[in-house]
Amino acid sequence: MPLTDKECRNAKPGFKEYKIYDSLGLHLLVSPAGGRYWRYKYKYLGRERKLAFGVYPEVSLAEARDKRDKARKLLSEGIDPASAKRENRLKAALAAANTFEVVTREWHNRYKDRWTQIYRRDILHRMEMDIFPKMGKSPISTITPLELLQTLQKIEDRGAHEMARRALQYCSQVFQYAVITARCERNPAIELKGALKPMRRGHFAALSPEELPQFIKDLNSNEVRLFIQTRLAIRFMMLTFVRTGELIGAKWPEFDFENAEWYIPAERMKMKRPHIVPLSRQAIEILEKLKSLNGNREWVFTSVAKPRQHMSNNTILAHLHV
């Protein structure tokens, strides 16, 4: 007769282990220590085999029967349930090891030489700030389009629509890399086409010719109390017309004072081509002032708070909005 839950509960340990049989190969193994273990006995390719289904009462009688029935279905399809269980355990272990963060860092390391130093740093920074906290620990093969969308919408909610759009692009590249390397079967980012809020394109903020004299006057008078390094950086940028990222990453060996030239290496340029900036007399004067302020430090535009690091990109941008 099939087992009842009462019989399972009342099974007492003996001097030796013994079995209480249910049906269709399922039985409860009772150990001398009092443990009660579900076992399923079956034959595969003429050989007798056993499969463990867990411990009673954590696994109930009904749950053990359900596991037995699933195993029997596999047998009917010519599949060994024990082999299938090992394969599923291996897949689960691989999925746990290949989280979104792990695959992203692998992708980033593999392709980083294609990008400028600033660009590859920005990619990883955005992932660490906005994506990893939400789904970095999730196995990449289990992430759904909805989970990705909800993560990106958190970025949108703070008004960073362009950042959300770029984050989607980065995630799509990571998922595509995971597909190629057999870590997941599809790229959920592709299914989010049109899901993010449309951006309103407009002109970048700029000073008009009429506003420029007052801006220079305010900068020179320093009414907003900027650090001298910040004021010099803004003046230097106005004289050289470089991007803030190229400016703050400048190092002293890049400057040729004799020929009044600034050589920006290809790896720091967006187009990955070296760029030579002619230096005016005023630009040279700013560099000499910075050299007297910074001494022999590596960076030309050092951080006031952290002198061993270069100035933050936001240091300049934030003060331009003041």
18-27, 45-54, 83-92: the lowest-pLDDT one: 83-92
Instruction: Please give the helix or strand (H or E) that residue 263 lies within, else none.
Output: strand 261-264
Tokens at 26, concatenated:
């399922």
What is residue 298's predicted lDDT score, i.e. its pLDDT?
85
Query: Tens of pLDDT along 156-197?
Result: 998 888 899 999 999 999 999 999 988 888 999 999 988 888
Average pLDDT, the chain: 86
pTM comes to 0.48
What is residue 319's predicted lDDT score, i.e. its pLDDT?
56
**pLDDT bracket for residue 228 (50, 70, 90):** confident
34-38, 88-92, 197-201, 260-264: the lowest-pLDDT one: 197-201
Alpha carbon distance 82, 294 (integer Å): 68
Domain boundaries, the chain: 5-79, 100-192, 212-320
Lookup result for tokens 């599923």 = 88
Indicate the DSSP class of residue 305.
S
Query: Tens of pLDDT along 98-145?
Result: 899 999 999 999 998 888 777 888 899 999 999 999 999 999 999 999
Query: Tens of pLDDT along 65-90?
Result: 999 999 999 999 999 988 888 887 87
What is residue 133's predicted lDDT score, i.e. its pLDDT?
94
What is residue 222's predicted lDDT score, i.e. its pLDDT?
59
Tokens at 33, concatenated:
């220590």
Q: Which of 189, 191, 144, 186 is nearest to 164 (CA)?
A: 189
- Average pLDDT value for residue range 305-318: 76
CATH code, 5-79: 3.30.160.390
Cβ contact 163:184 at 8 Å: no
What is residue 261's predicted lDDT score, i.e. its pLDDT?
94
Q: Which of 242, 243, 282 is nearest to 260 (CA)?
A: 282
Query: What's the fold here for domain 212-320?
Result: hpI Integrase; Chain A (1.10.443)
In a 3-state reduction of DSSP, which class is residue 26?
strand
In the chain, the N- to C-terminal Cα span, in Å, equals 84
Q: What stretches of 249-304 show up as alpha helix (H) in DSSP?
A: 281-294
Identify the CATH homologous superfamily for domain 100-192. Tyrosine recombinase, N-terminal domain (1.10.150.130)
Residue 271 has pLDDT above 80, yes or no: no
Tokens at 27, concatenated:
């039985």
Residue 203 has pLDDT above 60, yes or no: no
Residue 59 has pLDDT above 90, yes or no: yes
Residue 21 has pLDDT above 90, yes or no: yes
- Average pLDDT value for residue range 225-251: 86
What is residue 131's predicted lDDT score, i.e. its pLDDT?
94
